[in-house]
Amino acid sequence: MTEVHYHDYLQLDKILNAQEPESARHNVSAHDEMLFIIIHQAYELWFKQLHHEADSIVGIMRKPSLNDNSPELQTVVHRLNRMVVILRVLIHQIDILETMTPMDFLDFRDMLRPASGFQSWQFKLFEAKLGLKFEYRHGKEYYTAQLRQEHVDLIKNAETQQSFLQLVNDWLERMPFFDNSTLWNEYGTVGNEHPFWEKYKESYKDSLAEAEKNNLQVFDEVFFQQRESHYTLSAKANRAALFIMLYRGYPLLQLPFQLLNNLLEIDEQLSTWRHRHMNMVHRMIGTRIGTGGSSGKDYLKAAADKHYIFKEIAQLNSFLIERRRLPQLPKAIERKLGFAVGE
C-alpha cells in the first residue's frame, strides 16, 4: 500500500496556489483582497460539504420503507444537525470578513466586476435541493441570469426532482397510527373527522384568545381542506407533523421531532446568514449597486424576507396548545409510542 502524505492527501499545492488577486495582476496595492478570496473559497468548500450531506439524506429519505426506529433515521437527523453547525460556521465567517473596512474593500472592488456572490451556483443549487421552489424566489427572472449555462442546467434539473421537503412530506404521510381505527376505540365516535383531531380542535379552540378565533378557519384549511394550491405539505403530513410536535416526549417520536426541529434550525441559520450578509453589504458599499448589477442591500433584504424553505413546518407552531390541554392518548397508542415489546 502506498503511503499517504498529509500535503498530498489534501492537495495543498492546488489549494494554496488557488488565490490570484486581481489587484496583483493590475499591480495595485490591496492587502485585503487575499482575505476576500480565501473567505469566499471557504464558503464554496462548505457549500460542497452541504451538498454532500443533502444528497446523502435525500438518498435515505427516498427509500419507501424508512423506519422511524432505525439507524437510517438517526443518520438523517445526525447529518441535518451537521448541516446546522456548518451554517453557523458560515455566519461566523462574516465576523472575519468584517475586519475589512469599506476603504480596504474599495482598493480592489472595481476590479471584480461583474463577479458577484450572486453567481454562487452551489448555494442556489443547495436551496433547490432542500425545496425552495422557483415561484417563491425573489427576482425569478434574474436569479440565474449571470450563471453559466451548465450551472443553470444543474439548478433547473434539481427543481424538477423531488426536493428534500417533498420527501419529508411523503415520510410524514406514512405515519401509521391514524390509519388503524381500533387503536382509538377509547375515544369512541366524536364527529366527522378522526376522533383525536375532533378532540384536539376543541382544545385548540378553548386555548384561543377572542382576537384569534379566525384561526379556526385556518386550522381547517391547513389540516383538512387545503383549497389553495401553494401547499408543499399535504393536510395529512401537517397532521402527522403537528402530532410529532405535540407528543415528542414519547420515545418513538423523539427522532422525528429532532428531524423537524433541525429543518426549522436550518431555515433560521439561512435567514441569519442572509441578514448578516445584507448588513455587511450595507456597511461596505451603502446603497451602491452590487458588482454583479443587483440592487445590493435592497435585493438581499427582499430575498432574506422571502426565502424560507420550511415555512410550512414553522407555521404549525401556531396550532400548538399548552401541555395541560393535550388530549390523553389511548393506552394502545401509548404502547406503540413507547416501543412496547410484542406490539
Rank 69-83, 137-151, 208-222, 226-240 by mean pLDDT and report only the highest.
69-83
Known binding-site residues for heme equal 277
**How many residues are present in the chain?**
343
Residue type at 38? Answer: I
Is 204 buried (19+), middle (13-18) or exposed (0-12) by CB count in 10 A? buried
What mean pLDDT do residues 215-235 have? Answer: 85
pLDDT band at 304 (very low <50, low <70, confident <90, very high): low
- From the list 269, 274, 270, 264, the residue with the least C-alpha distance to 303 is 274
**What is the pLDDT at residue 340?**
53
Which range (109-118, 254-263, 309-318) has the least confidence? 109-118
**What is the pLDDT at residue 230?**
76
What count of Cα atoms within 13 Å lies in the side-chain half-sphere of residue 274? 21
Known binding-site residues equal 36-40, 109, 277, 291
Question: Is 97 in contact with 35 (CB distance < 8 Å)?
Answer: yes
Query: What are the pLDDT digits (tens) for 18-74?
Result: 999 999 999 999 999 999 999 999 999 999 999 999 999 999 999 877 766 678 999
What cell was used for 219?
Answer: 386550522
Question: Is 38 in contact with 220 (CB distance < 8 Å)?
Answer: no
Which range (143-147, 224-228, 255-259) has the least confidence? 224-228
Which residue bears the cell 475589512?
Answer: 100
**What is the pLDDT at residue 190?**
57
Q: How far apart are CA 208 and CA 289, in angstroms?
A: 47
For residue 114, cis peptide bond before it (omega within 30 degrees of 0) = yes
Residue 343 has pLDDT above 70, yes or no: no
Secondary structure percentages of the chain, helix, strand, coil, to 5: 65, 0, 35
Query: What are the pLDDT digits (tens) for 160-183?
Result: 999 999 999 999 999 888 888 888
Residue 184 has pLDDT above 60, yes or no: yes
Known binding-site residues for substrate equal 36-40, 109, 291
What mean pLDDT do residues 293-310 have? Answer: 68
Q: How far apart are CA 156 and CA 160, in angstroms?
A: 7
What pTM, to 2 d.p., does this model score?
0.90
Question: How many secondary structure helices (H) and strands (E) does the chain include?
Answer: 16, 0
Residue 292 has pLDDT above 60, yes or no: no
- From the list 227, 219, 173, 180, the residue with the least C-alpha distance to 200 is 219
Domains of the chain: 20-337 (1.20.58.480)
